[in-house]
Amino acid sequence: MRASKKSFLSLVALLVVTIAFSQEKEKIVSIEPSKTTTVTVDSTSKGVEKKVRVYNPKTAAIRSAILPGLGQIYNKKYWKLPIVYGALGVSGAIFFYNLTNYRDTRFAYQAMYKASQPNATLADSADYFKIKHPLERYSLQTLKYYRDSFRRDIDYSALVFVVLWGLNVADAAVDAHLKAFDVSPDLSMRFKPGKSRMAGTTGLSVVFNIGKNINPRPLLPTANF
């Protein structure tokens, strides 16, 4: 009877160890400044290896700084390209809109000012007929107000364009950095019985497995038969 019970317990222990070793194991095979390749070996799929590339944030940032959207392409986040080019395109269009109107109002103000002088010559009055419509109907004070407003808006639109360019670089760098975090099914919650060091009591703890798994999982102790 004791021999049968001992054999049964040994069989159960062997089954537990076999299941533990059949689970997926991860290890870091290479660590480089530019990239880290993680090889996942799954014994249930007959040793099939899956390589996961971790992107370099510095490379992504430099590429986006040179050409907006290039870092997003490097990170394989193609869906962000319309957002990047849309934001930069709209801000760039506003910049050129303000620049064009500033030049027109400045020319109209200068031409109208020279033509309104008592000693104005025919050459001074010639620029008056080159003023674009409907700017020729405005007064000097109105043209000066519009000229100053468009000049101020040029500075604002240029600042917005530079900020959006910087956000494009930051997004590429942060996105490349976050690719190093583990998003596998190991992100889970489990219950673990044991003693609480803070409370000094024994009970049931809730354990969250969150973060980047870069260390090999510890092996279960082998059973002695």
User: What is the domain partition of the chain in residue ranges?
Assistant: 25-54, 78-178
- Whole-angstrom Cα Rg for the chain: 35
pLDDT at 224 over 60: no
Crossing angle of helices 81-115 and 140-178, in 10° steps, is 160
CA distances from 81 to 66, 72, 171 (A): 15, 7, 12
pLDDT of residue 88: 96
**Highest mean pLDDT pick, 14-18, 86-90, 221-225:** 86-90
Q: Which residues pair with 198 in a beta bridge?
A: none
Question: What pTM did the predictor assign?
Answer: 0.60
pLDDT in tens, 58-71: 999 999 999 999 99
**Distance of alpha carbon 35 from alpha carbon 55, whole angstroms:** 6
pLDDT band at 187 (very low <50, low <70, confident <90, very high): low
Beta strands at 202-209 and 188-195: parallel, antiparallel or unpaired: antiparallel
Q: Look-up: residue for tokens 């059949």?
A: 22
Is pLDDT above 90 for 52? Answer: no
Average pLDDT over residues 122-149: 89
